[in-house]
Chain A
Amino acid sequence: MKTGFFKQYSKQLIAAAVILVICIVLAILKPAKDELMSHTSPEMQKMIEADESSSRKRVTVTYNDLFIINYASLSTSGAKVMSEKYVGFVGKVYPADEGVMKVTGQMVNYTYRMLGCGENLMHGAKLTILLTTLTVIFGVVLGTILALAKISKKKWLSGLASAYIFFFRGTPLLIQLFVVYFTVPGVCGFAWRDIFSASDAEAVYKGAFTAALIAFGLNSGAYCAEIVRSAIQSIDKGQFEAAKALGMNYFQTMTRIIIPQSVRRMIPNVSNEFIMVLKDASLVFAISLMDITTISKNIMTSEGSYLVFIPALVIYLVITAFFGFIFDKIEKKFSVYE
């Protein structure tokens, strides 16, 4: 199994290893943070020193380390704006106030922010990946339960499942998100952030994330239910009969015989659902979470830079490619018997 994997992907693995080695070399050659900071002008140094004893600090120091390249920006607000930017790459520090280096610096900064580096887990690409992955897992589990309910012979049970699916597919996710985050706590008298410890400074984001996960999961469950149902119903009737003839009950038949065979047929559709959720994740802007799309839109409006969309697209493509690979592996694993 293991050797098969290496054999099958030998070219890709070699390419990945080469890229990794190059990156590590570049990372080692990259100038250190202190070196980057040592280039700041005397005026700026003076401002920073003044800040030490001031209760209202004025200098914003940004340091973005993107493994192979780093970027530092120092700026002040107020009537007289001072701003200095530096990019560090392969042992050299470049001023990044103009030209190519300015764009490079911006790219590093935008990518850094969209990846959510230096922020909590509920931010940027981390938020997008976390929310999407958990939503799809939640959705598939819930979808399986709903699908089994829907094909059940018990009228009330299948009716209930149908109503659920109808409701969640027939209303916009954005409104469901609003209802879960604003309406439910408003009516029931609780706050999402109170689920987490009061001393947790990130509780507000965790609370919003929980609400988002619930809304996304409930919604995805409805879509996954149809995926699971059609997969189950595509399994040959003979399988049910064989299981029954061997004395298996419904639960044993489903969990040991039918669902494992359905998994392979679900994968392509679940993979699609994953990509849909990945894009829908940008709706979390409505409950003040920042995913990749929201951050890139913010940068666009606050800095007027349209270049921000290039790293945004690249980040999305990398995520999609990575998870596409994972789904491919799962599908292969489940179709080994064919």
Chain B
Amino acid sequence: MSDNYEYILKTEHVSKRFGTLEVLKDINLQVKKGEVICIIGPSGAGKSTFLRSLNQLEKITSGKIFIKDELFLHRENDHTVDRLLREKQQELLLEMGMVFQRFNLFPHKTVLQNVCEAPVIVRKENKDEVEKRARDLLEKVGLSEKADEYPSRLSGGQQQRVAIARALAMNPEIMLFDEPTSALDPELVGDVLQVMKELAESGMTMLCVTHEMGFAREVADRVLFMADGIIAEEGTPEEIFTNPQAERTKNFLNAILEA
């Protein structure tokens, strides 16, 4: 795959309807390699839907998605107008790792099996090599001693760190985080954010839907404020948090900071 591209991820006029409900309206976004973008906003703003649209868990109604400058998918009125070949699509999708709010670990597999599963089954990699890499990743997220436990024996924070390791095992170039700390008890949030921070520092391209304003402020290169299906405001953390322009952004931040 050519590394000679401008944007690792780009969307043009992406919109999504569920029946008559318009969840996403004309979303345009460009992401450069290595950028860390945090998406904030009130619930129901379409943040998660947007993230899920990027790796095809949701089918967009219309718009274009580019990955590494290649037109990945172009849809109009719920019909696919143009897309890459299936194999190519599949290959590019593997470049995107995803972390879910509710972890979604495979409960019938141990921590190590959870991490090894996809590289061995999907990428057909050598089992021993994958296991070695998996153990390294578990060490990185601080869970090497839990490798042989089943997920049900771990705390929420530990499960989420396993989920991150599982996504990283596929060697993705982009990581999507869908409210990774929202389902966690407050005292467990820190460990997960720490792992994400280290990941950001290592140069990973990241899109995070989050309510952790401190994290967004500290780690993000860019912050998007979404409301009612549109990007209401975007800018550096500095701009958004200290000098928000849009009225909606101000209200949202006030509400959050008061709470």
Contact = CB atoms under 8 A, between A and B. Distances in A.
Nearest to B118: A246
Contacts of A242: 98, 100, 104-106
B108 A241 contact: no
B150 A247 contact: no
A245 B97 contact: yes
A246 B150 CA distance: 19
Interface string B109-124: 1000000011001110
Contact of A336 (B55, B96, B150): B150
B100 A247 contact: no
Contacts of B117: 246, 256
A317 to B, nearest CB: 33
Contact of A238 (B90, B104, B151, B167): B104
Residue of B102, B117, B152 with most partner-chain A CB within 10 A: B117
Nearest to A245: B98
B232 interface: no
B97 A337 contact: no
A261 B109 CA distance: 10
Interface residues of A, number: 19
B100 A241 contact: yes
A260 B118 contact: no
A257 B113 CA distance: 12
A200 interface: no
Contacts of A52: none
A266 B57 CA distance: 28
Contacts of A334: 108
A337 B108 contact: yes
B107 interface: yes
Interface in A243-263: 244-248, 252, 256-257, 260-261
| Tier of interface size on chain B | 20 to 34
Contacts of B151: 337
Contacts, number: 59
B23 interface: no
Nearest to A261: B108
A338 interface: yes
B170 interface: yes
Contacts of B94: 247
B166 interface: yes
A120 interface: no
Contact of B106 (A245, A252, A257): A257
A236 B102 CA distance: 11
Contact of B90 (A245, A247, A252): A247
B195 interface: no
Nearest to A241: B57
B121 A256 contact: yes
B93 interface: yes
Interface string A65-106: 000000000000000000000000000000000000000000
A238 B167 CA distance: 15
Given A239-B104, A239-B106, A256-B117, A246 B122 contact: yes
Given A242-B104, A338-B107, A252 B121 contact: yes
A247 B170 CA distance: 9
A334 B118 CA distance: 21
Interface in B74-109: 90, 93-94, 96-98, 100, 102, 104-109
Contacts of B122: 246-248, 252
Interface string B152-174: 10000000000000110010000
B57 A244 contact: yes
Given A337-B107, A338-B107, A338-B152, A245 B121 contact: no
A239 B107 CA distance: 9
Contact of B57 (A236, A245, A257, A337): A245
Nearest to A236: B104
Contacts of A248: 118, 121-122
Contacts of A236: 104
Contacts of A247: 90, 93-94, 118, 122-123, 170
A338 B118 CA distance: 22
Contacts of A239: 104, 106
B257 to A, nearest CB: 32
Given A247-B118, A252-B121, A241 B104 contact: yes
Given A244-B56, A245-B96, A246-B167, 10 more contacts: A239-B104, A241-B57, A241-B100, A242-B100, A245-B55, A245-B100, A247-B123, A261-B108, A337-B109, A338-B107
8 contacts: A246-B117, A246-B166, A247-B123, A248-B118, A256-B121, A257-B106, A337-B150, A337-B152
Interface of A: 236, 238-239, 241-242, 244-248, 252, 256-257, 260-261, 334, 336-338
Please list the 4 inter-chain residue pairs (A to B) with the smallest Cβ-Cβ separation, ordered nearest first: A242-B104, A246-B118, A238-B104, A337-B150
